[in-house]
Structure 1
Amino acid sequence: MELVKRIEVLIEKYFAAETSMAEEQELRDYFSQTDLAPHLQEYQPMFVYFSSAQQESYGKTVSLKPGKKRYLAWISVAAMVAVVASVWMSNPFQPNNLGTYNDPEIAFQETQKALEYLSANLNIGIEEMSRLKEFEQTKNKILKNN
C-alpha cells in the first residue's frame, strides 16, 4: 500500500514536470510489472510506450558537407547584388529633374511621365521577383537531391 501511495505522488509530480530521472525510472519500473493497482492501470500504456520509445534510435549515418552551405550562401548574396545592380543600372537616379512647374499643363504631363516610369519599373521588379522565385525553386530541387 505504501508503494501505491508513493507511485501516486510520483505521478502527480510527473505531470507537474517535477520528477527527477531516478523517479521517472521508478515509475517506468513499476508500470512494467503485471501486478498493478486497479486505479493506476490506465497509466501503464503510457509508461510502457515511453520505455520502448527510449530504446529507439536512428541507425543510418548522416553525412554533412560543411563547405556546401557557405557556397550556397554566397550564391544567394551574388544573386541579390545582381538584381539590385540591374534595377539600378537600368534606371539611375537623376537629381537634375527635381523641381516645380509653374504651368499646370506641364506639371500634368510630367506627372504622367513619372507615373509611366514608375509603372515600367514596377513591372521590371515583378519580373525580377519571378526570376528569384525560379531561382529559389531550382535551389530547393538541388538541395533535396543531394
Structure 2
Amino acid sequence: MATIHATCVAVDGRGVLLRGPSGSGKSDLALRLIDAGGRLVADDRVQLSLEGGVVVARPPAVLAGLIEARGFGPIPVPFESAAPVLLVADLKPAETIERLPEPAVCAYLGIRLPLVAVAPFEASAPVKLRLALAALALPAHRLAR
C-alpha cells in the first residue's frame, strides 16, 4: 500500500487521481466533479493498493468523507470507500499545457495508468476529465494505456 498527496474522485465508479502541489486546485476541481455527479473518494491524501492487477484508491480513515474547501475548512460530503483508479490528472497552469500532447502514462504499484494534464480552474476541466474517462472505454483512443 502507498499513501500519496492527491485527491481522488469517482466518476461513474471510475477513479480519477488529481495530482498537484498544495493550492493547485485539487479540491476545487474535485468539488466541481462532485457537483456534476461524481463522488469523493479521498481529499489531500489517498491510499493506493493493488487488487487483482487494479490500482484501488481509498481514503485514510481520519479523512473519509471530508474535503477541504479553502476558506471554509473541512466539509463533509458523501463519499465512496474505494474506487479503481483509471486516470491520473496532473493539475497545471493552462499556459503550460501542450495543445496536442502525446499520450502519457505514469505508474503506481507497478501498474501503468493514463496521464493527462488539465488546468483545474478552467470551467471545462470537469468535462475534459469525463471525456478522457469515456475515451478509455473506446477500442482506440489518444490516451495511452
Same fold (TM over 0.5): no
Question: Which TM-score applies when normalising by structure 1?
Answer: 0.21
**Higher share of residues assigned strand:** 2
